[in-house]
Amino acid sequence: MKCRHCGHALTIPFLDLGFAPPSNAYLKAADLTQVERYYPLKLFVCDACWLVQTEDYAAREALFDAEYAYFSSVSESWLAHARRYADSIIDRLSLNRDSFVIEVASNDGYLLRNFVAAQIPCLGIEPTASTAAHAEQLGIPVRREFFGKVLADELAANGSCADLIIGNNVFAHVPDVNDFSAGLKAALKPGGSITLEFPHLVKMLAEVQFDTVYHEHFSYFSLHAVEHIFNAAGLRVWHVEQLTTHGGSLRVYGCHDDDPRENDASVDAIRALEQASGITKPQTYQGFQRRVDTVKDGLLRFLLDCKDKGIRIGAYGAAAKGNTLLNYAGVKPDLLPYVCDAAPSKQGKFMPGSHIPIVSPAELAAAQPDVVLILPWNISHEVVAQQGPILGSHVRFAVATPEVHYLE
């Protein structure tokens, strides 16, 4: 395999999680008697541009289908994050009724609803029919397609270039980052801005966030790699923000490479942080597998201990990262009998691979667990705040990374 950005041969293995089904391929009861799709789940790092990437096996159409079950609006904290961003960027870029905003991977309208409310013209681009339909019900125009250079050229030819292009947690989901980035440039007005949010590779390495690895994530980004990709597409990063979302993310602000705006100090600051973290040194990646296996082994010991002691345990959050964790650890319903999730699109289904049933929050309360293992650790505080008063003070909440521990 060669690097999906620069074409350099990939010779540095980073992580091998064995075989796993697509993490968002939730199963219906009838599916349990059918053959389930499994693909190898491996990461490599390119020692030319330092882009971390999966070994390619699954096509995007097999991962993002008409029944895609991830709805962004389920998380109240994510909705609040989207509102804050919308208010800030509208003010920062002086967006108004004469502006035009495009969001790539607009999902269920969790973000663009704020631009509709501000009467700023916008367009969502979302290939999954399940989430696109929800956004359209909110009055958001949606193109039900994958974004790339072909679609961007069509938008530009029709006079639909954007003052702002947004991509929240989509860059990692793109198999062809060069085509996607060329599309960003083609669809961006002169003087326009791009903002992309993505989990930061530095945080993944530091906090052993291996459960963010799944087939839907084709790439894992540092600012270093993003600048390589942008520069090749005729774009430039001029500002960077560090975010707490998804365990630690970057929001990069991009523009055309000939834009008169100068890079601010934040760009050099993140470059220095990454160099200090060793993201361009092969040895940085070589011990990660051992650290991941320590997390996996710790989770199994924890669940076996709960079983031996008769401690009633359930899980909260049928998230993709939870599926990666459970499948790599080989956890089945005998150790974790159910996972609760607030998304109606997941309730009544089963976790891929592990076949653990997904239930509603009401069923979690009825089960009266002693311990709740929160699989989407990035929203653990939100879960505790919501479920703690319902379940009672005797219930303890735990997360599995960077090691199994109870939340206080």
**Residues whose CB falls within 8 Å of the CB of residue 187, separated by 6 or more in sequence, listed in order:** 102, 151, 152, 155, 156, 160, 161, 162, 165
Q: Which helix (H) or strand (E) holds 165?
A: strand 162-168
Residues 255 and 353 in one domain: no
Q: Is residue 11 part of a domain?
A: no
Residues 253 and 299 in one domain: no
Residues 238 and 349 in one domain: no
To the question of pTM greater than 0.85 for the whole model, the response is yes
Q: Is residue 90 part of a domain?
A: yes
End-of-domain residue from the set 205, 226, 261: 261
Total domains present in the chain? 2
Residues 127 and 200 in one domain: yes
Q: Is residue 358 part of a domain?
A: yes
Q: For 97-144, what is each residue's pLDDT tens digit? A: 999 999 999 999 999 999 999 999 999 999 988 899 999 999 999 999
Residues 145 and 237 in one domain: yes
> What SS3 state is found at 220?
strand
Tokens encoding 23: 């993490």
**CA-based end-to-end distance of the chain:** 45
End-of-domain residue from the set 261, 277, 312: 261
Residues 227 and 124 in one domain: yes
Residues 184 and 317 in one domain: no
Rounded Cα distance, 275 and 180, in Å: 26
Which pairs with CB-CB distance under 8 Å and at least 24 residues apart come from 396-399?
396/370, 396/371, 396/372, 397/371, 397/372, 397/373, 398/302, 398/371, 398/372, 398/373, 398/374, 399/373, 399/374
Q: Is residue 213 part of a domain?
A: yes
Rounded Cα distance, 42 and 13, in Å: 8
Q: Is residue 65 part of a domain?
A: no
Q: Is residue 389 part of a domain?
A: yes
CB 90 within 8 A of CB 262: no
Residues 185 and 316 in one domain: no
Going by their DSSP bridges, the two strands 396-399 and 405-406 should be labelled as antiparallel
For residue 310, what are the domain limits?
288-406
End-of-domain residue from the set 243, 261, 279: 261
CB count within 10 Å of CB 10 equals: 19
pLDDT attached to residue 246: 87
CATH number for the domain spanning 335: value is 3.40.50.720
pLDDT attached to residue 408: 81
pLDDT attached to residue 70: 61
Residues 196 and 90 in one domain: yes
Residues 249 and 316 in one domain: no
Q: Is residue 104 part of a domain?
A: yes
Per-residue pLDDT tens, the chain, 408 aa: give them: 899 999 999 999 899 999 999 988 999 999 999 999 999 999 999 999 999 999 866 555 554 555 555 667 777 888 999 999 999 999 999 999 999 999 999 999 999 999 999 999 999 999 988 899 999 999 999 999 999 999 999 999 999 999 999 999 999 999 999 999 999 999 999 999 999 999 999 999 999 999 999 988 999 999 999 999 999 999 999 999 999 998 899 999 999 999 999 999 999 999 999 999 999 999 999 999 999 999 999 999 999 999 999 999 999 999 999 999 999 999 999 999 999 999 888 999 999 999 999 999 999 999 999 999 999 999 999 999 999 999 999 999 999 999 999 998
Q: Is residue 7 part of a domain?
A: no
Q: For 29-66, what is each residue's pLDDT tens digit? A: 999 999 999 999 999 999 999 999 998 665 555 545 55
Going by their DSSP bridges, the two strands 358-359 and 339-340 should be labelled as parallel
| DSSP codes joined into one string, 343-355 | -TTTTTSB-TTT-
CATH number for the domain spanning 197: value is 3.40.50.150
Residues 368 and 238 in one domain: no
CB 228 within 8 A of CB 276: no
Residues 209 and 133 in one domain: yes
